[in-house]
Each structure stands twice: as C-alpha cells, then as structure tokens.
Structure 1
Amino acid sequence: MSKKFDKLLEAATDSTNLEPNWDGIIACFDSIRSGEVPAKAAMQSIRKRIQHDNPHVAMHALLVLDACVKNCGHKIHAEVATREFMEEFKNLGIGSQYEDVKTKVLEMLQCWAMAFANKPEYKIV
C-alpha cells in the first residue's frame, strides 16, 4: 500500500511537471483520507520529497503536503504537529538554498499557526 502511494507521490512531484499535477495531488490525499495508506507512512514519503535536491520536486511536494493538511483532517494533523516534523520543516524554511521553497514553507507555517491556534492538541504548530 505504501508503494502505491509512493508512485502517486512521484507522479505528483515529478521534476518535469511544469504545473501542479492536481490529479496526482488529489489521488495522494484521497489515499490517506480513505485509509488506504496510513498517515504516518504517507508523511515519511512526503518528508523525503520536500527535502529533495531539485527545487521543483520540493515545491510540488510542498503542494501535496499543503493539500493533505487541508483535506485529510486529524490523521495528517497528528503527524504534522510533532516536534520532530516541525523542527525539520522550520529548518527547511530557514536553511533552504531556494527562495521559492523558503517562502512556501514559511507561508505554510504561518497558515497552519492561524488554522490551529484554537486547538491545544496542535500547539506545537
């Protein structure tokens, strides 16, 4: 089941995609939402892609992550709202050599902070 998700994620984040692959992005979050792939396994795969050396892959992976956070509910929120992930994500926003990646990460962090402001279980965000 995780291999199928990895294939979906690779298609959604392929470096040759000139535009976001919304069909692939939707397939990714649908597989998490339906329970076909556990949120923890999906996040492991997404984390690898957002740290990719190719900034196009990283940007597409950030779009997948953002769509998952917006569409998968608690399953993915619980994975995002961990100290380990938030530190890693914050460091990506500070340390990336690519301005587009930095900007997108910081934008997502700000969005999540506002969205989860009244949810104590996600205070780490």
Structure 2
Amino acid sequence: MAAVKVDKATNELLLGPDWTLNIDICDAVNSDHGQGKEVIKALKKRIQHKNANVQFLALTLLETLIKNCGDHVHYQVVERNILEEMMKIVKKKVTFLNLLI
C-alpha cells in the first residue's frame, strides 16, 4: 500500500508535487511507524529512476517526510543509504556537465 502511494506521488506525468498525497503519506507513516520502512524503500527506487521529474518528486516527498515525521523516518533514511543515492545522482550530473564543457 505504501509503495503504491509513493509511486502515485512520484508519477512522471505529474506537473508538480501532489501535496495532498504527500501529506497523506506522512500521516500514514506517523500513525504506523512500520510503514516508514516501506515508504523509504519505495522512495529509494524512485530516486534511482532515470526520469528527472520522478527524481525531483521523490526528493520533494523525502523532504516532506523529513520535515513532518519523526526520528523513525530519519533512521530509515540512514539505514537505506538514501544520502548515498542522492550523491550518485549529483555525481552523474557533474560528470555529464564536465563532458559538455
């Protein structure tokens, strides 16, 4: 269930963040901390997506979770090495930009 919501919130066809859905995901995670693990796992996959819009929406949802949920979400972000995934994206972009220069 959590993965389905994350997929909807990070759908590549969205023009911008679906704030209602993002907050709904936060509420679900806050009411059932076990869903935090599923949500972060699904988010990691979406951050790794090739589509930049999906990545942007995933990072926006991640930011929303970090700001609106407690330590249980922060712990999952660390456990799932989300920051390393974010660094990989930046390194790919920097490498690509260096090739253009």
Whether TM exceeds 0.5 here: the answer is yes
Structure 1 residue 32: Cα displacement: 0.9
Q: Is the 8 A contact 2:36 2:76 kept in 1?
A: yes
Query: Structure 1-normalised TM-score?
Result: 0.66
Q: Is the 8 A contact 2:48 2:85 kept in 1?
A: no
- 1:84 aligned to which of 73, 81, 86: 81
Q: Is the 8 A contact 2:40 2:80 kept in 1?
A: no
Structure 1 residue 83: Cα displacement: 8.1
Structure 1's unaligned 5+ residue stretches are 100-125
Distance 1:78 1:19 in 2: 27
Specify the alignment match of 1:94 in structure 2: 91
Specify the alignment match of 1:44 in structure 2: 41
- Bigger fraction of residues in helix: 2
Percent identity (aligned): 29
Specify the alignment match of 1:56 in structure 2: 53
Matches within 5 A, 1:4-15: 4-15=1-12
Structure 2's unaligned 5+ residue stretches are 97-101
Distance 1:6 1:82 in 2: 18
Divergent runs of 4+, >3 A: 82-85
Specify the alignment match of 1:33 in structure 2: 30
* Pairwise CA RMSD: 2.2
